[in-house]
Structure 1
Amino acid sequence: MENTAAVMMGISKQNGQLRAPSSRSGPGVLSNPFTSVPTVGQKPAADSPEGPGISIVDVTATKGNEFEDYCLKRELLMGIFEMGWEKPSPVQEESIPIALSGRDILARAKNGTGKSGAYLIPMLERIDLKKDHVQALVLVPTRELALQISQISIQISKHLGGVKVMATTGGTNLRDDIMRLDEIVHVIVATPGRILDLIRKGVAKVDKVQIMIMDEADKLLSQDFVLLVEDIISFLDKNRQILLYSATFPITVQKFMAKHLKKPYEINLMEELTLKGITQYYAYVTERQKVHCLNTLFSRLQINQSIIFCNSTQRVELLAKKITQLGYSCFYIHAKMMQEYRNRVFHDFRNGLCRNLVCTDLFTRGIDIQAVNVVINFDFPKNAETYLHRIGRSGRFGHLGLAINLITAEDRFNLKAIEDQLVTEIKPIPSSIDKSLYVAEFHSADDQAEQQEMPDDP
């Protein structure tokens, strides 16, 4: 593999674009051993390296914000990073600067997309510790969510030096809440019935609340809660800010928005972050079996284009080298590469010059390539948000997609947690995968009969 070693001499020479030395990759790296489907995507024109009218831009320019960009308190940033939140998610990128400006927000976002951070970060940034009254109210429909949100708030704000967060829900001792509110409380996380009871008793004073947040607003504005929510708002300052997060937009949400929100900034990430059309499997392997399993997948699947995710920069480069040694060409990309090389890799991959891209999580939100029909988690992600963004690279805009996860013994708990959070099912990989699940316009019975079987233990 001397030629392969030469290819891997450095990023500066190959710009993240590895060419397989064997004949398996073929001239121009367009042929592929596991599919005869022609390369999908725009073809650069002969008169220009990039094609006419195509400019190389940073595809992550509008999706690559840092938490530091929002001028947050250093102590708040410490809490954010200790939570393991390295980069803002799309809903956080959209929400944080708008919420900090004081404007109302109406956002559509699923669980597992980072929406709690989208409203908690700006809320905590705006808490004034010099004031000893309730400044923020978070309404949620269930006790479990109230406890979860209050705990996250406490963790993020632990370095701020005295932010007092309280959770209050039905089914708990009312006297305990009354005694707690006799002390300083800055943030209340509550279910509607309990907080309204405390307000009416004159115990919870919310007339100086500057920001009210409604998480899972579609549930809060259902028949079970809507009258309670309306009553709660009547006790708030008329100039309060409202942040509303909902997975769906029923008529009740629209009516509420028209009545109570002032020129809200609307965010809709539901189309981007969807599992519709994506079939999800996992293969239970050891770390040493991963490359062999990946090689098996390459040889059996009909891939238009694939994206393979690793959990570190070093593993991206090592895996790219392994894939090249196996005889397949691939591109790779990570944050430590020079910007011009990252731009070129994205541009060429988007235009179909290579079928496989190995990358890190930093670029899950910048990739929007409709030809991608297979996503492989070579390293399984640690949280639902990352998983959703990764596999959302396939099945774009209603197209079919396949997500395959290589799971080790250490990953099994994360697998169950992510299934629960996203309310989805990740099935064991079958001995054969129906091509109609991820290949567009696959209708031929003869083609299905010719489909090769996947081994029981890839």
Structure 2
Amino acid sequence: MATARTANPAPMAGLNKPANGQLRGQTKTGGQQSELLSNVQHPSAHKRTSIPQSSGGIKFGDDWKKCLELPPKDTRVKTSDVTSTKGNEFEDYCLKRELLMGIFEMGWEKPSPVQEESIPIALSGRDILARAKNGTGKSGAYLIPLLERIDLKKDHIQAMVMVPTRELALQMSQISIQLSKHLGGVKIMATTGGTNLRDDIMRLDETVHVVIATPGRILDLIKKGVAKVDKTQMMVMDEADKLLSQDFVVLIENIISFMPKDRQILLYSATFPISVQKFMSKHMQKPYEINLMEELTLKGITQYYAYVTERQKVHCLNTLFSRLQINQSIIFCNSTQRVELLAKKITQLGYSCFYIHAKMMQEYRNRVFHDFRNGLCRNLVCTDLFTRGIDIQAVNVVINFDFPKNAETYLHRIGRSGRFGHLGLAINLITSDDRYNLKNIEDQLVTDIKPIPSSIDKSLYVAEFHSVDAEDGEEKA
């Protein structure tokens, strides 16, 4: 019988399940749970390196690159989505040496196409409207110029990054902290709904240079007079199509009303519906437009469908687990209830599994996201909460247990694999009710989703990448 790790068990509708979204099948006991991510993080929280933090320790003429603590070189195959560059180097943009240190220690060797197009324009102060595929380096395209322009002599909020989900806010704050760790005191704060408001108020009583936030929480702090953005010169909107949907657009426009009129606005997204065009004409000054979307779907992702009945889905999933070489997988369902039921089924089959959805307590969502990202579990079951911007390099397989209703959702889901031009696999479990959606999505994305073959060539989705340790006895292909 598969065991499930629990915290605050809360039986619902006859299902005795853990509230923290972490189910494990036949796991080894022991091991400390990772600490929860704080909603406010500072560079001092990261381990110190041997490189002086803008203290003058590296003298003019020293070979500063020899002091860097670089991650292992990424030798995996990359697609033209990230390799078709102009040949620029990060040094070409006259960035601070301390920022370059952070960039290289992230493992970013050369700018991707969207970074080449975006960084010099953003540094000039001009508004940007950028359309580029998921996983092609959009976060670096705006975080690098944002951090370069921070003036440490000023103690007010100088830049804001708006994101639609709490998980994306935490991810962006982590990346920002890593990039800025040698800059000597850039204060970065992540604030989202579902966290302690008093903690945020206390943090804003101190110096904060960069705020990474979900719209509802930062607007609340602005209206309370705690977050002062009247001198904030840069506002970034990541996943702009979602932020300008009916769910958020009123909040976004309200936030902008508190900012100076000469602020800079940067919009980044993979899809740009009509709402983005309306916002651009109303709030942006002759934005520089970047469009790197000759085709919508990622080149490195192979897409298949398996035609099944509803009752055959779990059996089909079990077969896929046994035959595929999975580093990490994300499995999508269309409702929170189906997420929890499927996660329980997967643990009963003997596989380790986490789950995450919007109705979970925020501290558990943080823990699941953090632990899955750190490779503590191979499989994650989730709703569309997890489709926006989440970057986990080890994910090489995405499975649509429930097929999505529209092309935009499909595009964002499969974009969780094949990150930064690497190879990935997307498998869709299709019932008779999904046939028309499948055809419509193929037509809209101008892509071909093929019937799944009896054997899938591993070279299509497996690269030189160590898989997650099979702590639950999963079969390694």
2:239 aligned partner, one-letter code: E
Give me the whole-angstrom Cα distance separating, in 2, the residues matched to 1:280 and 1:133.
47
Give me the whole-angstrom Cα distance separating, in 2, the residues matched to 1:266 and 1:388.
28
Matching of residue 64 in structure 1 with residue 119 in structure 2: no
Distance 1:79 1:409, change over 3 A: closer
Number of aligned pairs? 255
Matching of residue 158 in structure 1 with residue 190 in structure 2: no
Distance 1:68 1:276, change over 3 A: closer
CA shift digits 1:403-457 (9 cap, x unpaired): 833737954349xxxxxxxxxxxxxxxxxxxxxxxxxxxxxxxxxxxxxxxxxx9
Give me the whole-angstrom Cα distance separating, in 2, the residues matched to 1:221 and 1:399.
26
Partner of 1:230: 253
Matching of residue 384 in structure 1 with residue 407 in structure 2: no
Partner of 2:56: none
Matching of residue 407 in structure 1 with residue 457 in structure 2: no
Helix, strand or coil at the partner of 1:177: helix
Matching of residue 132 in structure 1 with residue 155 in structure 2: yes
Matching of residue 203 in structure 1 with residue 229 in structure 2: no
Helix, strand or coil at the partner of 1:242: strand
Contact map agreement 2:164 2:243 (CA 8 A) in 1: yes
Partner of 2:168: 145
Give me the whole-angstrom Cα distance separating, in 1, the residues matched to 2:242 and 2:447.
30
Distance 1:98 1:409, change over 3 A: closer
Contact map agreement 1:277 1:400 (CA 8 A) in 2: no
Give me the whole-angstrom Cα distance separating, in 1, the residues matched to 2:108 and 2:84.
19
Distance 1:230 1:267, change over 3 A: same
Contact map agreement 1:113 1:388 (CA 8 A) in 2: no
Distance 1:70 1:226, change over 3 A: same
Helix, strand or coil at the partner of 1:68: helix
2:185 aligned partner, one-letter code: G
CA shift digits 1:298-332 (9 cap, x unpaired): xxxxxxxxxxxxxxxxxxxxxxxxxxxxxxxxxxx
CA shift digits 1:38-92 (9 cap, x unpaired): xxxxxxxxxxxxxxxxxxxxxx996211101111000000000000000111111
Matches within 5 A, 1:221-370: 221-271=244-294, 274-275=297-298, 279=302
Give me the whole-angstrom Cα distance separating, in 2, the residues matched to 1:280 and 1:156.
34
1:211 aligned partner, one-letter code: M
Helix, strand or coil at the partner of 1:158: coil
Matching of residue 215 in structure 1 with residue 238 in structure 2: yes
Contact map agreement 2:119 2:141 (CA 8 A) in 1: yes
RMSD: 3.1
Distance 1:409 1:217, change over 3 A: closer
CA shift digits 1:198-254 (9 cap, x unpaired): 000000000000100000011111111110000000000100000001221111111
2:419 aligned partner, one-letter code: A
Return the match for 1:174 from 197, 206, 225. Answer: 197
Distance 1:130 1:383, change over 3 A: farther
Query: Structure 2 regions of 5+ residues with no counterpart?
Result: 1-82, 305-319, 326-416, 425-444, 451-456, 470-476
2:149 aligned partner, one-letter code: R
Helix, strand or coil at the partner of 1:243: strand
**What TM-score, normalized by structure 1, do the two folds share?**
0.51
CA shift digits 1:109-129 (9 cap, x unpaired): 232111000000000000000
2:180 aligned partner, one-letter code: S
Q: Post-superposition shift, 1:279?
A: 3.2
Give me the whole-angstrom Cα distance separating, in 1, the residues matched to 2:141 and 2:174.
15
Give me the whole-angstrom Cα distance separating, in 2, the residues matched to 1:220 and 1:256.
11
Return the match for 1:95 from 112, 115, 118. Answer: 118
Helix, strand or coil at the partner of 2:467: helix
Partner of 1:84: 107
Contact map agreement 1:199 1:205 (CA 8 A) in 2: yes
Q: Which runs of 4+ in 1 moved over 6 A?
A: 281-285, 399-403
1:224 aligned partner, one-letter code: D
Return the match for 1:114 from 137, 152, 155. Answer: 137
Give me the whole-angstrom Cα distance separating, in 2, the residues matched to 1:81 and 1:156.
9
Contact map agreement 1:278 1:401 (CA 8 A) in 2: no
Helix, strand or coil at the partner of 1:244: strand
Give me the whole-angstrom Cα distance separating, in 2, the residues matched to 1:146 and 1:266.
25
Helix, strand or coil at the partner of 1:407: coil
Contact map agreement 1:284 1:408 (CA 8 A) in 2: no
2:102 aligned partner, one-letter code: G
Give me the whole-angstrom Cα distance separating, in 2, the residues matched to 1:83 and 1:383.
18
Contact map agreement 2:300 2:418 (CA 8 A) in 1: no
Give me the whole-angstrom Cα distance separating, in 1, the residues matched to 2:174 and 2:114.
20
Give me the whole-angstrom Cα distance separating, in 2, the residues matched to 1:278 and 1:405.
8
Give me the whole-angstrom Cα distance separating, in 1, the residues matched to 2:120 and 2:138.
14
Query: Structure 1 regions of 5+ residues with no counterpart?
Result: 1-59, 286-381, 390-396, 415-456
Helix, strand or coil at the partner of 2:422: helix
Give me the whole-angstrom Cα distance separating, in 2, the residues matched to 1:400 and 1:87.
32
1:385 aligned partner, one-letter code: F
Give me the whole-angstrom Cα distance separating, in 1, the residues matched to 2:283 and 2:157.
20
Give me the whole-angstrom Cα distance separating, in 1, the residues matched to 2:95 and 2:144.
9
